[in-house]
Structure 1
């Protein structure tokens, strides 16, 4: 009988040493964050730095990586982020809100949005309840680091994000912002690295696209033709203006807008295409007053044929109007397209005296949604 003896050698490595964080020296970054979405589905958040993104780590406390903190370039101006510009010395847990200015490319509108950030302190061994990380978030701009089991932190991670409720404050448009944060270890020391985050948000709001009549808010416009009698020529005619603004739900950046104006009574037998009729009824010319409709787009007067779509182009070049649309928390820019209703002069004897009424229907067609 033969026996084979096997000697087993087992090397035990302490868990903390086997899973130690890697040596990491601070290095500046530039991140691009392009994102397109519709306001009907605002993202839950935009993550700029995932929690515990390692900014710096060394097992040697003398490197000072346990005191890393992030500061803004200005404590008063939100153009690149507004937050403390030096070590605050704040102790205890917490997060930091950074006011960041977003600018809408088309209109120049500005809105400040809060970016939320925090620091997480790391340790050379599992001193914090068998973990390499302290369990409490620390403010971004404080070099304070809590100890664990009498040991100081030797590394720092960070988290940085924009919450969905902040994003919901941005109306449709192309919004841009740049956040700049400097990394420091000493209270009055130089910046060791710079973190730059460039955000480009292409936001649509297709469900909110609308035809807005500023003088009537939510009500259906009631417009008179402003007919005036000329006793010398014994004719009647007039002119009426109706302010109208088109909101495309895309920050007024659509390639085109299709507008159709139609007589609510249907096709008219008049050459002008639009008519109002005597309130007592009747279908002969004496019971009808004819008028024309003209739309002003960027200074160009466009005759509107009854029921025929008019394509409006150059939307990205016309002057916009800031309005507060019903049901929206923020003002938006729309494309002014005022309507002119002109009644050519006709002999007063050719029309039956009395009250005339009619209606117009205005329709807006948008380009297909962008992918």
Structure 2
């Protein structure tokens, strides 16, 4: 009885070893491509919901395979760049490196350009190759699962036999995507498919077109007051000869729309948020012990400068700024963002018309302004 049980167990064990080999499938015979192979990668996302790894070539994307003719060297194909120093179409090795390192993707720095601002940034695109064995004698599959350097013809021998084919992987990792701020980014990666020692078989061209938004980062940026509310002095001046008081205060302001300064328009509203109503559609500061009398109120105007034109803002009334996609921009570093971004300059001027000094109660006057930014509901 015991022998019978042992015998059955041994048969099952043997089958467990043999079955994976029986199911291993040899990749199809395929010659490498020739000429120029173009692939367009067009995507959109918001920085609050990144797409994760962008797989342009999934693992084991077949490039070439021929297990009948080792002389074709399809198991030694490798990829190179046009330049080892310029990232315009990808910066990497231009010749066979013969590197035997495995398990690590090759990072190719590729230049991306934001179409609205011309801002440039190098993005790392991860590339690697896989080798296809001539038999399954060295593993449970024809594919060698180790990632090889994209720029090397190296392939491990299997019982003296070289690899019979090559595949690839090409992706944009999440860490690389983080470098792209809001805007439309375009970049091109060109990879030359090579066969030892230096034969050029084909050129792969990858055209990337990424539209990135950052709606959570829409901001009113006051450079002089980055880390808190703005406390602004109206800079009132007394003219002892005319016995008049007036003043002017410039406040630098820049608007970030979260879509790379490409909005159809920006809606800006300035409100008098003080505890007492202002006079008319203007803005006011008040004496701390005011009874509501006019002698305890100082009125001032708020002017907004946009694209060289100065607008008088009315209390609580939105001004729409059109032509945002063509106006001059400013590169700034917003407190909550890792990368610099371009914003729309809209400096404010707080202008206090002159009034007789005797017409106002002596004291320190104060008030509060609230600036609101509205971006179009239709988002790119």
Q: Tell me how far apart the structure 2 counterparts of residues 207 and 16 of structure 1 sit (CA, whole Å).
A: 50
* Residue of structure 1 in register with 2:176 after alignment: 166
* Residue of structure 2 in register with 1:44 after alignment: 52
* Residue of structure 2 in register with 1:157 after alignment: 167
* Residue of structure 2 in register with 1:8 after alignment: none
- Given candidates 108, 112, 116, the residue that maps to 1:106 is 116
Does the aligned pair in 2 maintain the 1:296–1:339 contact within 8 Å? yes
- Given candidates 129, 136, 145, the residue that maps to 2:146 is 136
* Residue of structure 2 in register with 1:25 after alignment: 32
Per the normalisation by structure 2, the TM-score is 0.90
Give CA deviations for 1:91-134 in whole Å, capped at 9, x if unaligned.
Answer: 13132111111111111111111111111011333233131111
Tell me the matched-pair count: 357
Q: 1:272 to 1:345 in 2, by over 3 A?
A: farther
Structure 1: which 5+ runs fail to align? 1-13
* Residue of structure 1 in register with 2:231 after alignment: 222
- Given candidates 295, 307, 315, the residue that maps to 1:306 is 315
Q: Tell me how far apart the structure 2 counterparts of residues 96 and 18 of structure 1 sit (CA, whole Å).
A: 28
Q: Which has the higher helix share?
A: 2
Q: Tell me how far apart the structure 2 counterparts of residues 17 and 265 of structure 1 sit (CA, whole Å).
A: 77
Does the aligned pair in 1 maintain the 2:109–2:124 contact within 8 Å? yes
* Residue of structure 2 in register with 1:182 after alignment: 192
Compute the displacement of 1:267 (Å).
Answer: 7.6
Q: Tell me how far apart the structure 1 counterparts of residues 105 and 297 of structure 2 sit (CA, whole Å).
A: 71
Larger mean CA deviation between 86-95 and 193-202 belongs to: 86-95
Give CA deviations for 1:37-82 in whole Å, capped at 9, x if unaligned.
Answer: 0000111111111111111112211112111000011111111111
Q: Are 1:80 and 2:123 an aligned pair? A: no
Compute the displacement of 1:190 (Å).
Answer: 3.3
* Residue of structure 2 in register with 1:235 after alignment: 244
Structural mapping, 1:118-137, within 5 Å: 118-137=128-147
Structural mapping, 1:259-270, within 5 Å: 259-265=268-274, 268-270=277-279
Does the aligned pair in 1 maintain the 2:24–2:142 contact within 8 Å? no
Compute the displacement of 1:16 (Å).
Answer: 8.8
- Given candidates 327, 346, 366, the residue that maps to 2:375 is 366
* Residue of structure 2 in register with 1:55 after alignment: 63
Structural mapping, 1:188-227, within 5 Å: 189-227=198-236
Structural mapping, 1:212-361, within 5 Å: 212-265=221-274, 268-271=277-280, 273-361=282-370
Does the aligned pair in 2 maintain the 1:272–1:292 contact within 8 Å? no
Aligned Cα RMSD in Å?
1.8
Compute the displacement of 1:269 (Å).
Answer: 4.8
Does the aligned pair in 1 maintain the 2:24–2:140 contact within 8 Å? no
* Residue of structure 1 in register with 2:15 after alignment: none
Per the normalisation by structure 1, the TM-score is 0.92
Q: Tell me how far apart the structure 2 counterparts of residues 90 and 328 of structure 1 sit (CA, whole Å).
A: 39
Give CA deviations for 1:192-223 in whole Å, capped at 9, x if unaligned.
Answer: 10001011110000011111100110211111
Q: 1:220 to 1:162 in 2, by over 3 A?
A: same
